[in-house]
Structure 1
Amino acid sequence: MRLLLVEDDERVGAALAAVLGKHGFTVTHARNGEQALRALLPGQGAAYGCVLLDLGLPDQDGFEVCSRIRRRTATPVIMVTARADVRSRIHGLNLGADDYVVKPYDIGELLARIHAVARRKTAEDAAALPAAQDPVLQQQQPAAIRLGPVSVELTSRRVTVDGEAVALTRKEFDLLALLAQRPGVVFRREQIISEVWRTSWEGTGRTLEVHVASLRSKLRLPALIETVRGVGYRLVVPAV
């Protein structure tokens, strides 16, 4: 797999690229945001399987780089940064990052996350065309789910609250759609991670919490997704 490593520290970047190379990855090292964006332009070579993005870049903030990457490509982005606060995690995921890893990290954890986002992207790409063309699947799945003021349109992947569209990331929509299809039912954390992230790796649990917090904030309905302590989450239909 080809990786795009966006890291301004030469020593850190070189060391990480060497380790990733030993694990079979082909790494391109970009030292700033503009180099990273140029590397992702069409015609610049083989497609990247994942972008590892530091946030403290010399020419522009990594959040802005992520936003610009997401506007031009669906390539998975993992933010790799020393910013450990929850607000930064939520902001990064809202901009379209697929995962968020805090420095210092174990290299095994980073490798697991790279493989996890790559598997999810492959599964989504493989499933997209048959699902859109199969009339049986379309008949089995309702076009939209209405939950009080919330409407979740499964085919168009559109969400509205009181008729106003709400912009969600891929995983935020997938998480909401999963809970919305069985309102009131408690989904175990492991089940959600398996179905939405397509992995059983325990480290994804923190990402799940961040996505739930982001959904509550974006939908402006904090009680919509209820935390069932020690078990998981369920969707509570709000009163109209």
Structure 2
Amino acid sequence: MGENMQPLRENVPERRAVVVEDDADMRTLLVRTLQRHGFVVAEAATGAGGLEHVRKHSPDLITLDLNLPDLEGTEVCRRLRQFSDAYVIMITGRADEIDELTGLQIGADDYISKPFSPRTVQARVEAMFRRPRRESAAVRTAPVGGGTLDSESPHLAHGPLLVDPEARLVFLDGNELTLTRTEFDLLALMVASPRRVWTREMLLRSVWGDEWASDEHLVEVHVGNLRRKLGDSGRSPRFIRTVRGVGYGMVAPVV
């Protein structure tokens, strides 16, 4: 498939994207939309081709169709998550909530249902790239009563959980956890203020942006995925507790 690797906007740090879509018209729409948004774009019509481009170009963003001729988009997402932490937007023509949920569970950051407008894509991408990627003030500086901040590093400790916001690493009982960008952002935000109770709307605005302030389902899915990776059980969680009727908060660490 063809590639366009020339940025269309000047004085903007180069950002790369890979579009994986078998429908030629839809692929062209996505490629042109992202190019207008300042991305250099590689495109593929198959899952295998998409994985090859992700390995070759190390993109910041991937749009991934759910229905591809060789591999399911969910399988492509599982494979690319083994070597890429790029933002992943699942593109689906099936409005079935199970498809959307499955896509998020295997490491996607967001989903868009067909048909969609270029403005929808641009708004979603802008919101994702507004999230703090490194050394966020909200994470580096723990408030009074917040998580323990190592005096020699920006690490945040919460019991056996250690969050390194600068390196974007998380360790549990000394073992590194593999989190998506969104899962990391949620965890770092809550660990930095462990005594705070976060409403779903607050988490949406802090991690996803104002555009998603009403899409509470996104928070529930990602918190569920995060809990699973932390080994939390529903009735007696070690780390993330549900505050009934409000939202979520951190469980006080056992001293």
Q: 8 Å contact 1:94–1:168 — kept in the other structure?
A: no
Q: 8 Å contact 2:155–2:163 — kept in the other structure?
A: yes
The 2-side partners of 1:174 and 1:17 are apart by: 27
Find the counterpart in structure 1 of residue 7 from structure 2: none
Q: Quote the RMSD (CA, aligned, Å).
A: 3.5
Q: 8 Å contact 2:105–2:221 — kept in the other structure?
A: no
Q: Which stretch shows the higher mean deviation, 106-115 or 81-90?
A: 81-90
Find the counterpart in structure 2 of residue 11 from structure 1: 25
- Report the secondary structure of 1:4's partner residue: strand
Correspondences of 1:1-240 after superposition (within 5 Å): 1-42=15-56, 48-120=59-131, 123-125=132-134, 138-139=150-151, 143-146=156-159, 151-155=160-164, 156-159=169-172, 167-183=178-194, 185-197=196-208, 199-202=209-212, 205-218=216-229, 219-223=231-235, 224=237, 225-229=241-245, 231-237=246-252
Q: Which segments of 5 or more consecutive residues in structure 2 lack a partner in the other structure?
A: 1-14, 141-148
- Report the secondary structure of 2:182's partner residue: helix
- Aligned-partner residue type, residue 55 of structure 1: L
Aligned CA distance change for structure 1 residues 8 and 194 (closer, same or farther; 3 Å): same
Q: 8 Å contact 1:37–1:65 — kept in the other structure?
A: yes
Aligned CA distance change for structure 1 residues 17 and 169 (closer, same or farther; 3 Å): closer
- Aligned-partner residue type, residue 211 of structure 2: W
- Aligned-partner residue type, residue 233 of structure 1: Y
Query: Cα offset for 1:187?
Result: 1.5
- Aligned-partner residue type, residue 12 of structure 1: M
- Report the secondary structure of 1:51's partner residue: strand
Percent identity over paired residues = 36
What is the number of equivalent residue pairs in this alignment? 220
- Aligned-partner residue type, residue 226 of structure 1: T
> Which one has a larger percent helix, Structure 1 or Structure 2?
1
- Aligned-partner residue type, residue 208 of structure 1: V
Q: 8 Å contact 1:90–1:214 — kept in the other structure?
A: no
Cα displacement string for residues 47-93 of structure 1 (whole angstroms, at most 9, x for unaligned residues): 53311111211111212211222222222211111344454444433
- Report the secondary structure of 1:56's partner residue: coil
Query: Cα offset for 1:154?
Result: 1.5
The 1-side partners of 2:119 and 2:243 are apart by: 30
- Aligned-partner residue type, residue 31 of structure 2: A
The 2-side partners of 1:50 and 1:7 are apart by: 14
- Aligned-partner residue type, residue 247 of structure 2: G
Q: Give TM-score scaled by structure 2 length.
A: 0.68
Q: Give TM-score scaled by structure 1 length.
A: 0.72
The 2-side partners of 1:73 and 1:40 are apart by: 8
Aligned CA distance change for structure 1 residues 239 and 227 (closer, same or farther; 3 Å): same
The 2-side partners of 1:157 and 1:178 are apart by: 13
- Aligned-partner residue type, residue 108 of structure 1: R
